[in-house]
């Protein structure tokens, strides 16, 4: 009996162990590489968001869901925690300052950096009254889905009905992993702006067409029962597949290379520097790495967890991923530490010689200071980015001075103490001030008040900003005071905080919230011959070198400080005088070099002559002693 009992316990334990081992080793078929370096063919069946197989004779035809389709072979739950999707996850280290989402409302004289990540200087979208739905409807055009797009916890209860109509904005795997020439990120952007969240991936895939707009459908719109829209000229969202793309088994061929070409990343990660010296696109250069045939993913690597390597110094320590240190500029070109295996020279990265450059430069400067961004000129340049200016989206403002106004390159200190070129944005927004805390106001609240000013005088428009005078700002501030007398209404613009003083006049003060939001830029990397310092010290150490003495344009709607300038040293930890004095010393350096060389030769001669004479004396003395 005891033996039977023991056998039973043993069997139970074995089964348990087997179950545990089985559950631990169970991985999706697409996530386990067998070492074959060829590219797997993705001829697959497609599924809708309810995990139903899509057949061409379905009525109605639903858009395929990348989540349900791809998860058959890939672990979606792991992927969805990746860098592109985890912005709102409070447990994720936000890392180095990055590009925020910039909300622009010209009619409210507002441009404000928003981010779910907790980067200092940005505001969470909710602070500006943005529900998740509104955030996605505004910025989802350049989001690959996932994150707040499919998190029910992040959905505002007031938007419940709208979410039922739009569906979730699941991760659109094809945003990055579809090399089909028909893959259309612009179409994806348009669909998201129409709140066609569940349709966006299919519409951009190149084998489906989506018509209609979920944003125009009533709250009680139903996918299956097709409740007619309130207005007859509004089309409900419908999906039509290109039948020729389906084989006899109902499978569709997706082109999924291991590494996507740079153009795939560029849709969301492009920037256009408005450089008057190089007005046409053909005159500009591309990143030296791309020109050499590399792809973005060669450096910005990731595993199944989709935790992209961002590639900045200090990322390894910040994120706890030691491998990240090997994929920075230094990691590839200089190696990192003394390992058992040489770590430098990945992908043929040449080791820089930096002949004659004092090593202090490598402590005080990031690699990007000399090698990245546009060559600095007397004035900073405007830069337009995909995400800030909706580049690539049809009907986006193509004007060079379109809002938001972002300046580049501004040489500022990073958190690690090194200087690097930054993109810089000066926030402009209306807010209530409680003690020292500044709480932005939703633009819906402010727009009507600002509109009163513009309604009276529509001619006052310079560039793309509306122009606000002292009286205009005071007028809006007074109106805001009437709404809430417990807090101080303020306006942030031009790097200053404006508020009404006790006499009712406008006062302008410095405040942390009014400071620029800056994020380091790493691309485009210039070649060695195009790098700062190639022509000598004067590239940065001349008394008028842009590195210290360039003018940084502070764009703002405030008329008194309209497009005012600040010297680059304002954003560096040195005074303009000390930088100028230091630069001045370089004027005399050629002469001083000659002086030192002459002195050295003279000293060497004196020492040599008397050394010879001393040697002769020693020889004589030794001979005499003998």
Partner 1 sequence: MTIFRIISALALLILLGAITFDLKLRLKEWKSVRMFLSDQMRNLILVAKEKKGLDTGTTAARIRSIVYASTLLCFLLLAVTGFVPILFVGDHLTGILLVIHVTVAPFFALSLSALGLLWAHALRFDGEEWRILHDIGKAGIGEETIRFASKMAFWLTLLLSLPLMLTVILELFPLFGTEGEEFLIRLHGYSALCLMLVAVTHLYCTRYPVQTNTQNHL
Burial class (CB in 10 A: 0-12, 13-18, 19+), 359: exposed
User: Nearest-5° angle of CA 168, CA 173, CA 177?
Assistant: 160
State yes or no: residue 599 binds partner 1 (CB under 8 A): yes
- Dihedral angle at the C-alpha atoms of 264, 266, 267, 268, nearest 10 degrees? 120
Question: Can you tell me which of 20, 565, 592, 619 binds partner 1, judged by CB under 8 A?
Answer: 592
From 115-123, 131-139, 493-501, 594-602, give the range in contact with partner 1 by CB under 8 A: 594-602
CB of 593 to partner 1, least distance (A): 6
Q: Which of 258, 347, 483, 621: binder of partner 1 (CB under 8 A)?
A: 621
Name the residue among 400, 424, 385, 102 with its Cα closest to residue 266. Answer: 385
* Smaller CB separation from partner 1, 118 or 364: 364
Whole-number Å distance between alpha carbons of 187 and 141: 9
Contact between 343 and 315 under an 8 Å Cβ cutoff? The reply is no
Which long-range contacts link 297-305 to residues 24+ away (Cβ below 8 Å)? 297/259, 297/260, 297/265, 298/259, 298/347, 299/327, 299/332, 300/327, 301/327, 302/82, 302/83, 304/31, 304/74, 304/75, 304/78, 304/79, 305/78, 305/79, 305/81, 305/82
Question: Could you tell me the smallest distance in angstroms from the CB atom of residue 540 to partner 1?
Answer: 14
One character per residue 314-353, x = contact with partner 1 (rule: CB under 8 A): --------------------------------------xx
Contact flag: residue 589 with partner 1 (CB under 8 A): yes
Residue from 21, 588, 612, 619 touching partner 1 (CB under 8 A): that is 588
Among 362, 379, 442, 538, the residue binding partner 1 under the rule CB under 8 A is 362
Q: Among residues 9 and 594, whose Cβ is nearest to partner 1?
A: 594
Please pick, from the candidates 3, 157, 360, 623, the single residue that binds partner 1 as defined by CB under 8 A.
Answer: 360
Question: Would you say 16 or 607 has its CB closer to partner 1?
Answer: 607
Nearest to 521 by CA among 143, 93, 98: 98
Tokens of 315: 């990322």
Q: How many Å separate Cα 307 from the centre of its chain?
A: 15
Cβ neighbours of residue 303 closer than 8 Å, sequence gap 6 or more: none
State which residue, 120 or 593, has the beta carbon closest to partner 1: 593
Residue 602 found at the interface with partner 1 (CB under 8 A): yes
Applying the rule CB under 8 A, the residues between 565 and 584 that interact with partner 1 are 574, 578, 581-582
529 makes contact with partner 1 (CB under 8 A):
no
Q: Would you count residue 587 as binding partner 1 (CB under 8 A)?
A: no
**Is residue 502 classed as helix, strand or coil in its secondary structure?**
coil
Among 60, 322, 358, 394, binds partner 1 (CB under 8 A): 358
Residue from the set 20, 614, 616, 619 that interacts with partner 1 by CB under 8 A: 614
Task: Choose which of 32, 596, 612, 619 interacts with partner 1 (CB under 8 A).
Answer: 596
- 247, 603, 616, 619: residue in contact with partner 1 (rule CB under 8 A): 603
Cβ–Cβ contacts within 10 Å for residue 212, how many? 17
User: For the chain, how are helix, strand and coil distributed in percent, rounded to 5?
Assistant: 40, 15, 45
Shortest Å, Cβ 568 to partner 1: 17
CB-wise, 5 or 535, nearer to partner 1? 535
Size of the site for partner 1 (CB under 8 A): 39
DSSP secondary structure string for all residues of 368-424: HHHHBSSPP-SB-EEEEEHHHHTTTSTT----TTPSS-EEEEEEEE-TTS-EEEEEE
Q: φ and ψ at 419, to 5 degrees?
A: -80, 140
Question: What's the full length of the chain, in residues?
Answer: 626
363 lies in the site for partner 1, by CB under 8 A = yes
Decide if residue 600 touches partner 1 (CB under 8 A).
yes
8 binds partner 1 (CB under 8 A): no
Interface pick for partner 1 out of 607, 612, 616, 619 (rule CB under 8 A): 607
Report how far residue 390's alpha carbon sits from residue 405's, in angstroms, rounded to the nearest whole number.
13
Q: Which is nearer to partner 1, 424 or 579 (CB)?
A: 579
Binding site for partner 1 (CB under 8 A): 352-360, 362-364, 574, 578, 581-582, 585, 588-589, 592-593, 595-600, 602-604, 606-607, 609-610, 613-614, 617-618, 621
């Amino acid at each position: 009996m005891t033996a039977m009992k023991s056998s039973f316990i043993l069997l139970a334990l074995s089964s348990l162990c087997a179950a545990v081992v089985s559950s631990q080793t169970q991985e999706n078929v697409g996530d386990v590489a067998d070492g074959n370096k060829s590219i797997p063919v993705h001829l697959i069946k497609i599924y809708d968001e309810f995990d139903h197989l899509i057949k061409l004779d379905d009525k109605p035809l639903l858009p395929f869901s990348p989540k349900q389709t791809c998860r058959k072979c890939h672990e979606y739950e792991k992927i969805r925690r990746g860098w592109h999707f985890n912005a709102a996850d409070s447990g994720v280290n936000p890392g180095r300052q990055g590009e925020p989402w910039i909300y622009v409302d010209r009619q409210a004289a507002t441009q404000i950096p928003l981010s779910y990540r907790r980067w200092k200087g940005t505001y969470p979208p909710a602070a500006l009254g943005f529900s998740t739905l509104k955030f996605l409807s505004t910025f989802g055009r350049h989001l690959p889905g996932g994150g707040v797009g499919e998190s029910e916890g992040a959905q505002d209860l007031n938007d419940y009905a709208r979410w039922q109509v739009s569906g979730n904005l699941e991760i659109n795997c094809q945003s990055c992993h579809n090399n089909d020439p028909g893959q259309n990120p612009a179409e994806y952007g348009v669909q998201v702006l129409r709140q066609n969240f569940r349709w966006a991936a299919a519409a951009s895939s190149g084998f489906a067409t989506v018509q209609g707009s979920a944003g125009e459908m009533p709250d009680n719109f139903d996918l299956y029962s097709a409740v007619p829209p309130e207005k007859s000229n509004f089309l409900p969202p419908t999906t039509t597949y290109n039948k020729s793309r389906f084989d006899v088994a109902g499978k569709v061929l997706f082109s999924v290379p291991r590494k996507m070409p740079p153009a795939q990343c560029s849709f969301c990660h492009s920037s256009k520097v408005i450089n008057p010296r190089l007005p046409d696109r053909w005159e500009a250069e591309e990143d030296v790495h791309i020109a050499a045939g590399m792809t973005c993913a060669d450096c910005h690597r990731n595993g199944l967890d989709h935790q992209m390597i961002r590639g900045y110094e200090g990322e390894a320590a910040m994120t706890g991923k030691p491998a990240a240190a090997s994929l920075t500029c230094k990691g590839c070109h200089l190696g990192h530490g003394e390992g058992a295996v040489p770590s430098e020279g990945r992908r043929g990265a040449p080791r820089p010689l930096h002949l004659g450059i004092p090593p202090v430069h490598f402590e005080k400067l990031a690699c990007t200071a000399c090698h990245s961004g546009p060559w600095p000129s007397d004035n900073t340049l405007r830069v337009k980015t995909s995400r800030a200016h909706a580049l690539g989206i049809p009907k986006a403002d193509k004007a060079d001075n379109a809002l938001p106004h972002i300046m580049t390159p501004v040489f500022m200190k990073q958190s690690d103490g090194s200087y690097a070129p930054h993109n810089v944005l000066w926030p402009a927004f209306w807010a209530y001030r409680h003690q020292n805390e500044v709480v932005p106001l939703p633009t819906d609240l402010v727009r009507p008040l600002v509109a009163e000013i513009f309604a009276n005088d529509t001619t006052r428009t310079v560039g793309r900003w509306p122009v606000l005078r002292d009286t205009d700002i005071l007028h809006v501030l007074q109106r805001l005071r009437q709404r809430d007398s417990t807090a101080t209404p303020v306006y942030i613009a031009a790097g200053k905080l404006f508020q009404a003083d006790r006499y009712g006049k406008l006062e302008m003060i410095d405040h942390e919230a009014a400071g620029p939001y800056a994020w380091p830029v790493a691309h485009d990397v210039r070649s060695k011959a195009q790098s700062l310092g190639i022509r000598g010290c004067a590239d940065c150490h001349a008394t008028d070198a842009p590195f210290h003495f360039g003018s940084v344009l502070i764009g703002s709607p405030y008329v008194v400080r309209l497009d005012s300038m600040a010297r680059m040293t304002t954003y560096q930890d040195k005074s303009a005088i000390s930088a100028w004095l230091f630069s001045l010393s370089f004027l005399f350096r050629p002469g001083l070099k000659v002086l030192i060389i002459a002195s050295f030769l003279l000293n060497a001669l004196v020492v040599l002559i008397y050394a010879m004479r001393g040697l002769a004396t020693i020889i004589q003395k030794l001979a005499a002693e003998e």
